[in-house]
Copies of this chain bind each other. A is one copy, B any other.
Amino acid sequence: MGIAERKEREKEDVRRKILDAAHDLFETQGYENVTMRAVADAIEYSPTTIYLHFESKDALVEALCFEDFEKLSSAMSAQPLPKSPVDRMRALGHAYAAFGIANPNHYRFMFMTAGEWKKHARDEDTPPSKSYAVLRDAVEQAMNEGYFKKNDIDLVSQLVWAAIHGVVSLLITFTPDQFPRVAPRPGLVEASIEATLHGLLTDEAKG
């Protein structure tokens, strides 16, 4: 049955084309400026064709988003892992921030919009959950090895996440020429990571 498989493959190709085109447009134009027609134009199909592969614009964006979460997970995992849990947290923070700053439009959609897709993201093996797990594991390790004060692991994970997310989201929302009164300070990412860690570290770990 080579025919069915070829058809399957062709269908998958179109799907990929859609996703790739949407990804690029998304990145360059921003979410709310990308239209189904623009995506269709980019792949040289009619707009209707997209609906043969995705239920709706939201569904398309959800798929795109899940792929981004996978990239985020890789970005946070791929680096040579520092031995010290604290250095590992540091590296995680930097990787996360770099990802957000490099892909502001995707970041915006992943973390800064309501979106129906988040209801599907709860399950344990969805890409968003896996991304969270990377952070959580690092926190757990730091806590187990006595570097962080004992506390609810999820509370601390969310605390760390919130801190770095706050920096990234401000940076990509307020560009230097529009920040209220003063431009974002350089070194904000590093300073935030250090401040957060120092707030969480045990006294012994600070040394």
- Residues of A whose CB lies within 8 Å of any CB of B are 30, 111-114, 118-119, 121-122, 124, 126, 128-129, 131-133, 136, 152, 154-155, 158-159, 161-167, 169-170, 173-174, 177-182, 184-185, 187-188, 191-192, 194-200
User: In the complex, how many angstroms separate the beta carbon of A173 from the nearest chain B beta carbon?
Assistant: 6
Q: Which of B30, B128, B132, B169 contacts A165 (CB 8 A)?
A: B169
Q: Are A169 and B112 within 8 A (Cβ)?
A: yes
Listed residue (A113, A124, A152, A199) with the most chain B CB atoms within 10 angstroms of its CB: A199
Q: Are A158 and B195 within 8 A (Cβ)?
A: no
Chain B residues near A199: list those with CB within 8 A: 194-199
New A-B pairs, 20, CB < 8 Å, besides A118-B173, A155-B185, A199-B199: A111-B170, A112-B173, A114-B173, A122-B177, A122-B180, A122-B181, A132-B180, A132-B182, A154-B185, A158-B170, A158-B184, A159-B167, A159-B191, A159-B195, A163-B163, A163-B166, A163-B196, A166-B169, A169-B169, A198-B198
Q: How far is the CA of A162 from the CA of B100 in the complex (A)?
A: 15
| Copies of this chain, tallied across the complex | 2
User: In the complex, how many angstroms separate the beta carbon of A25 from the nearest chain B beta carbon?
Assistant: 16
Q: Are A191 and B155 within 8 A (Cβ)?
A: yes
Nearest neighbor of A162 in chain B, beta-carbon distance: B166
Chain B residues near A112: list those with CB within 8 A: 112, 169, 173
Nearest neighbor of A135 in chain B, beta-carbon distance: B180
Q: How far is the CA of A194 from the CA of B196 in the complex (A)?
A: 10
Task: Indicate whether A131 sits within 8 Å of B180 (C-beta atoms), given known contacts A188-B162, A196-B199, A199-B196.
Answer: yes
29 contacts between A and B (CB under 8 A): A30-B114, A111-B170, A118-B173, A119-B178, A122-B177, A124-B181, A128-B180, A129-B180, A132-B180, A136-B181, A152-B185, A154-B182, A154-B185, A155-B185, A155-B187, A155-B188, A158-B182, A159-B191, A162-B163, A162-B166, A162-B188, A163-B163, A163-B166, A164-B166, A169-B169, A195-B196, A196-B199, A197-B199, A199-B199
